Structure 1
Amino acid sequence: MAMLTDEMLLESYQMATKLQLDREFIALLLAEIHKRDLNKNVGSFLH
């Protein structure tokens, strides 16, 4: 995940949730978002 830019990570999360991809995959993306402390920048974007 380190190779993803913050923007790419957030876009990946948004698309994964929109397409209802595997919950474990979405959880990995969300964990990385929290690890990078990006959750405060996305507001209601996160579920």
Structure 2
Amino acid sequence: MKKLNNECLLETYYKAVELHLESAFIRLLCREIKRRNLQIKKHDVSDLSA
């Protein structure tokens, strides 16, 4: 996780949520996002497909 830059981490999180991936994976991403003090923006699904 530490090698993933902030932008890629957030994109991965948004895509994981969009695709309804494993909740444990999404929690792992959330923990890392919080550890880095990043903000998760609430997007609708149309924003995620870009």
Q: Which runs of 5+ in 2 are unaligned?
A: 44-50
Q: Which runs of 5+ in 1 are unaligned?
A: none
Number of equivalenced pairs: 43
Task: Name whichever structure is richer in helix by fraction.
Answer: 1
Structure 1 stretches of 4+ with a deviation exceeding 4 A read none
Report which of the two structures shows the higher radius of gyration computed on alpha carbons.
2
Q: Give the % identical residues.
A: 42
CA RMSD of aligned residues (A): 1.1
- Measure the CA separation in 2 of the matches of 1:28 and 1:34: 10
TM-score by length of 2: 0.79
